[in-house]
Structure 1
Amino acid sequence: MSDKKEWPVIVIGAGPCGIAAAAELKKKGIESLIVEKGAVTESIRQYPNRMTFFSTAENIEIADIPFPTSNVKANRNEALQYYRKVAQYFDLNFQLNTAVQKVDRQGDEFIVHTSRGNFTARFVVLATGYFDKPRLLNIPGEDLPTVSHYYKEPYAHSFQKVVIVGGGNSGIEAALELYRHNVDITMIVRGEDLKPTAKYWLVPDIKNRIKEGKIKVFFNAEAKAIRAGEIDIVVASGEKQSIEADFIYILVGYLPEVKLLTACGLKPDPESLLLDFNSATYESEIENLFLCGTVLAGVHTEKIFIENGREHAKAIAAAVSQKMETVLND
């Protein structure tokens, strides 16, 4: 933890993009403090234990540090180790388990209000991602203890009935792993097919399991209510059905933290949650407050990944460096 309260730059968020921003700044001789409400790479820590990234390891490298892996694509554990080692290599500064409450502008500086006191900086980089705020169905029973918006591992569910709401990568990966651990799986998918963005190596596997009847699926269906031991759905014909379920995973995506964005003085679009920013420097509508990574994507979180978020970090570091030089020359 940091005893120092004044920094040239404060980076909010210790995910890969936040670490990339701090590392790129360090390469230019600029110190920063990364403030994170959880642990380092908290979002990756919450991924399924045996998840494999869609992108190759080379494409999720940051700060020009090679990412050695035994396979072309890295898994969760390798990523956790890699980003930690990058942070160690650049000797980055962290204030962990510290929630940012709001960011105020006072003259030429920002005051970052946190659960552990205030910090000040001339520049702020917002790299908060989205994974800690799941999309909600807003249906009765969604808050029951037998419902979760995060999947970790299969072992608690062997020889039980599990329903998965969602037809994207998270739902497909969970369904396949659960099926292979003696779980009776039913998927509820809103569309007429699985999401087209599904990892290409998973699609034949899941479709074959569905074709064999080993994984049951309702397409064009919506979840309507959850009770202990069952979930109500409506299918395309309008017919209502109740499905037995010992546990339910709602895996329909995640959203940026709008409350924090507005507490920083930003004005996300009410529907898309998109923010105004300079596409060359990633500076927001607020001077000297920069946006890095998936926070730029609004509701379309599938459009920005580590591999393009890391480029934001380079542009931001260059812009901050140039601004600092201009101030010194003046």
Structure 2
Amino acid sequence: MHIFDVVIVGAGPAGLATAIAAVQNGLDHFVIEKGALVNSLLHYPVEMVFFTTPELMEIGGMPFTSPNDKPTRLEALRYYRRVTDVFGLKIAFDERVLAITRQDAPDARGSFAIDSQSARGVRRSVHARAVVIATGAYDVANSMGVPGEDLPHVSHYYTQPHPFFRKRVVIVGGKNSAAEGALDLFRAGASVTIVHRKPALGDSIKYWVKPDIENRIKEGSIAARFNTGVLEVRPTEVLVQSTDGVEDALPADAVFLLTGYGSDTTLLRAAGIELNPETNGPVFDPITFETSVPGLYVAGAMVAGIQSGRVFIENGRFHGQEVIKAIVRSLARG
């Protein structure tokens, strides 16, 4: 039975950085990804421009060059594909990890069995001395808990404007995703209304986006309902209520609930990893990133739980180096 030094769950930037660190330290690695390479980026708007600069998205010491001050989504996808090829990372795509179990058999003592299933239903198990969970914080959309949230014209992810030309679109949310989506849709010919429970848009909106969205609202090109919450999503409208109790029905052909995302903790719980009751994220050593289960580590945005805004590509890309240092020390001790 072959036992890898480390299996990494998730092929986002943090998972890739961890795999690269494993390669650089001579560890036998394997990555399992439930979707495509850097899968979360596929949910980003097609023409999105990152808030950060290219060098702050680099992993493995490989330069990320861009003709722009801030890279685009397309450039990022191209960069991470190139990095994966250059370092020869071993990755299984479209394969979901179902369970991580510590092994006690004599020929596998001290290792873990990682059970997975491909998108086509094929199951298998691989074994590793250590496991790193780097599944990101974009898998689970924050549910609003309102009737109609699961209707077919409702989505928690916005990617492109063209299908909504000449359609009435309601966007729920007041942070960067909502602002960029509203501008994108407006410029593609959609009639856009923003619904936000607070009195104004968030201060975290990209500095070049905020004045743009505020001016479009001020001139009436984009409608905005502040201090307003959603009561129900219906097939042709969204029922909202202001903080002073006034209800209204907003016509809607499409609805985007851009109210944030979080980590899927199912795998963590199943593996016996202790969770922080305040953040719903894993309890881990801040230096080694080892969890309450010896040999199981975490990396990337998922370490922050519901406080995912604390960890981005810019800082999560360094987690893998510390994780691999800890694993190397652990393997040396036997």
Q: TM-score, normalised by structure 1?
A: 0.96
What amino acid maps onto 2:97 in structure 1? V
1-side partners of 2:275 and 2:231: how far apart?
29
**Structure 1: 5+ residue stretches without partners:** none
Aligned residues with identical type, % of pairs: 38
The 1-side partners of 2:96 and 2:184 are apart by 33
> Residue in 2 aligned with 1:50?
47
Instruction: Give the whole-Å Cα distance in 1 for the aligned partners of 2:319 and 2:35.
Output: 23
Q: CA deviation at 1:6?
A: 3.0
Counterpart of 1:99 in 2: which secondary structure? strand
Rounded to whole Å, the distance in 1 between the matches of 2:273 and 2:325 is 22
Answer whether contact 1:5 1:118 (CA < 8 A) is retained.
no
Letter in 1 for 2:242: V
Partner of residue 329, structure 2: 322
Q: How far apart are residue 267 of structure 1 and its match?
A: 2.5
Partner of 1:111: 113
* 2:306 paired residue number: 299
Quote the residue 2:196 is aligned against.
189
Quote how far apart the aligned CAs of 1:201 are.
1.1
Change (3 A) 1:205 1:134: same
**Who is 2:28 aligned against?**
31
- Superposed CA RMSD in Å reads 1.2
Aligned to 2:120: none
**Contact 1:164/1:175 (CA < 8 Å) preserved in 2?**
yes
Q: Determine if contact 1:229/1:246 at 8 Å carries over to the other structure.
A: yes
Following TM superposition, by how much is the alpha carbon of 1:270 offset from its aligned partner in structure 2, in angstroms? 4.0
Match of 2:284 among 277, 280, 283: 277
Report the 3-state secondary structure (helix = DSSP H, G, I; strand = E; otherwise coil) of the residue aligned with 2:268: helix
Q: Which runs of 4+ in 1 moved over 3 A?
A: none
Contact 2:265–2:281 (8 Å) recurs in 1: no
Question: Match of 2:80?
Answer: 83
Hey, what does 1:137 align to over in structure 2? 144
Q: Which moved further from structure 2: 270-279 or 294-303?
A: 270-279
Q: Which residue of 1 aligns with 2:176?
A: 169
Paired amino acid for 2:111: E
Residues in 2 aligned to 1:264 and 1:20: alpha-carbon distance in whole angstroms = 23
- Equivalents in 1 of 2:323, 2:293: separation in Å? 14
* Superimposed CA distance per residue, residues 245-274 of structure 1 (whole angstroms, 9 cap, x where no aligned partner): 011000111110021221222132345212
Give the Cα separation in 2 of the matches to 1:318 and 1:150: 36
- Contact 1:103-1:265 within 8 A present in 2 as well: no
1:152 aligns with 2:159: yes
Q: Match of 1:68? A: 65
SS at match of 2:214: helix
Distance apart, 1:197 and its partner CA: 1.4
1:229 matched to which residue of 2?
A: 236
Instruction: Normalising by structure 2, report the TM-score.
Output: 0.94
- Which of 196, 220, 236 does residue 213 from structure 1 map onto? 220
Q: Look up the match of 1:15.
A: 12
Question: Separation in 2 of the partners of 1:81 and 1:45?
Answer: 12
- Structure 2's unaligned 5+ residue stretches are 105-109, 118-122
Residues in 2 aligned to 1:263 and 1:70: alpha-carbon distance in whole angstroms: 45
Code of the residue aligned with 1:111 in structure 2: it is: A
The residue that corresponds to 1:125 in the other structure is: 132
CA distance in 1, matches of 2:207, 2:317: 24
Q: What is the aligned length?
A: 324
